[in-house]
Amino acid sequence: MVEVRLRVNGADASLDLPPQVSLLDALRERLGLTGTKKGCDQGACGACTVLADGERINSCLALAVQYAGREITTIEGIAGDGPGHPLQAAFVRNDGLQCGYCTSGQICSAIGMLAEHGAGMPSAVTEHLCADGAELTDDEIRERMSGNLCRCGAYNGIVDAIREFAAAEAER
């Protein structure tokens, strides 16, 4: 057992864990934060996406012990106690989900993606690597979100929701 001090959604938690416990299992099974989903458990589907210091990661491939002291944000932290996050509302408005199993990961991933895009990070479809701020086209959204699978196939709605939210944020 190792003592792991996690900081999740702004709260500290000290857990005694075997070192093989993933961040995903620590969140779900030890802290009761079941909003983060376990899909493939091998880094292929993105359902377990959370933010670590604002960067999106696959929590299934993260050992909890490696993330001690990092600021972890899950869908519960993004939603808060009020009416939810505006990106969640955009997903609902645009039919960005059907069964909803991938949605927590999609939302966390999209928030991390928009931060990456805002910081000028290029993607595999960015035409000019050194240009400042590639426009967030639908192709860019699709490429940057490709680590999140949706087996219901709600991709068009997901892209619509992210585009709508990003445009509203840009106007603020």
Partner 1 sequence: MRPFSYVSAPDVATALRAVADDPGAKFLGGGTNLVDLMRAGIEQPDTVVDITSLPLAEIGERPDGGVRIGALVRNSRLAAHPLIRARYPVLSQAVLAGASAQLRNMATVGGNLLQRTRCPYFYDRTAACNKREPGSGCGAIGGFNRGHAVLGVSGACIAAHPSDMCVALAALDAVVEVESVRGVRRVPMASFHRPPGETPHVETDLSPDELVTAVELPPSPTAANSRYRKVRDRASYAFALVSVAAALEVRDGTVTGVGLALGGVATTPWRARRAEHALLGAPATEESFRRAAEAELAPATGLPGNAFKIEMARRAVTATLRRLLTEGSPA
Q: Which residues of 117-136 are buried (b: 16+ CB within 10 A; e: fewer)?
A: beeeebbeebeeeeeeebeb
Separation CA 164–CA 105 (nearest Å): 18
Q: Which is nearer to partner 1, 18 or 86 (CB)?
A: 18
Contact range with partner 1 by CB under 8 A, out of 31-39, 75-83, 120-128, 163-171: 120-128
Instruction: Look at residues 86, 81, 88, 83 and name the one whose alpha carbon lies nearest to residue 103.
Output: 88
Q: Which is nearer to partner 1, 68 or 92 (CB)?
A: 68
Q: Tell me the chain's radius of gyration from C-alpha atoms.
A: 16
Which of 14, 129, 132, 171 touches partner 1 by CB under 8 A?
Answer: 129
DSSP code for 31? S
Which of 86, 118, 120, 153 touches partner 1 by CB under 8 A?
Answer: 120
Closest separation in Å from C-beta 123 to partner 1: 6
Q: Which residues bind partner 1 (CB under 8 A)?
A: 2, 18-20, 22, 41-43, 46, 49, 55-58, 61-63, 65-66, 109, 112-113, 116, 119-124, 126-130, 142-144, 146-148
